[in-house]
Amino acid sequence: MNPFQPPVSGATLVFNGCDLDNWRTRSGAPAGWSVSDGVMHVVPKTGDIMTVERFTDFQMHLEFMTPYMPEAKGQARGNSGVYLQGRYEIQVLDSYDLAIPGMGDCGAFYNQFAPLVNGCRPPLEWQTYDVMFRAPRVNAQGEVVEPVRISVLHNGIVIQNNVQLPGVTGGAIDENVGEPGPLLLQDHGDLVRYRNIWIRELPLKGSDTYEPR
Ligand code: MG
């Protein structure tokens, strides 16, 4: 199956399919992952990579493929992760055979929200995440007045429905939740692949509050 979806109008290709010139490691060094045939490959031990661009509210599309690791169990089976704003990890893992996924399984917000259902395809098949991300709203004192809200579709299935995370997940780049942040992909040592990553930034006006007017 090949679910490759072209970007919607107004979207930015944050992975151009050719190189990682706009990606860096956490320390700002050139990204150490490899690219071939429009696909980026985790190169284990080279570290997480993140975009130079920073985002606030956005719609994101991304495709990933987990490796076939029949001997591995749990967190050792095809682990990676997609950190929205570099702060909120949607787990990437081969959780295909799990009846009831938990807070560490594929599609979870790590240690915060399990996915509503298991949306996984088998390893070695392309899978999609589509995300609607609304950044936390922060007042002049830096206090969060409205928490982050995130919805996620996994292979077209709603697995996170407008969840309000109480804070960043483990491994976040920082806790400056009122600032824009990058898209970060995790090197957890497994041979996960990514392709066709685009982000469409959303206007902040018109969504500036969920409170009644
Ligand atoms: Mg992970």
pLDDT tens digit sequence for 116-157: 999 999 999 999 999 999 999 999 998 999 999 999 999 999
Residue 46 in domain: yes
Report how far ligand 1's centroid is from the alpha carbon of 9 (Å): 30
Report how far ligand 1's centroid is from the alpha carbon of 79 (Å): 5
Residue 194 neighbours by CB distance under 10 Å: 22
Report how far ligand 1's centroid is from the alpha carbon of 103 (Å): 11
Range of the domain at 139: 12-201
Report how far ligand 1's centroid is from the alpha carbon of 81 (Å): 4
Residue 1 — pLDDT band, cuts 50, 70, 90? very low
d(CA 84, CA 139): 21
Report how far ligand 1's centroid is from the alpha carbon of 109 (Å): 10
Contacts of 85 (CB under 8 A, 6+ apart): 55, 133, 135, 177, 180, 181, 182, 183
Residue 212 in domain: no
Strands (E), 79-126: 80-84, 88-92
d(CA 81, CA 152): 14
Q: What is the pTM of this model?
A: 0.95
d(CA 213, CA 124): 48
Residue 204 — pLDDT band, cuts 50, 70, 90? confident
Report how far ligand 1's centroid is from the alpha carbon of 140 (Å): 33
Residue 210 in domain: no
Report how far ligand 1's centroid is from the alpha carbon of 212 (Å): 37
Residue 3 in domain: no
Residue 101 in domain: yes
Report how far ligand 1's centroid is from the alpha carbon of 76 (Å): 10
Cα within 13 Å of Cα(186), Cβ side? 26
Count up the domains in the chain and report the number. Answer: 1
What sign for the dihedral angle of Cα 183, 52, 206, 136?
A: positive
Per-residue pLDDT at 125: 98
- Asked whether residue 3 carries a pLDDT value surpassing 70, the answer given is no
Residue 88 in domain: yes
Q: Between 209 and 107, name the one with better pLDDT.
A: 107
Residue 5 in domain: no
Residue 4 in domain: no
- Asked whether residue 176 carries a pLDDT value surpassing 90, the answer given is yes
Candidates 192, 210, 183, 147; CA nearest to 41 is: 192
Report how far ligand 1's centroid is from the alpha carbon of 165 (Å): 17
For the domain that residue 16 is a member of, what is the CATH number?
A: 2.60.120.560
Q: CB-based burial of residue 84 (10 Å sphere; 0-12 exposed, 13-18 middle, 19+ buried)?
A: buried
Candidates 20, 179, 184, 207; CA nearest to 90 is: 184
Report how far ligand 1's centroid is from the alpha carbon of 88 (Å): 11
pLDDT 10s digits, 10-41: 999 999 999 999 999 999 999 999 999 999 99
Report how far ligand 1's centroid is from the alpha carbon of 106 (Å): 9
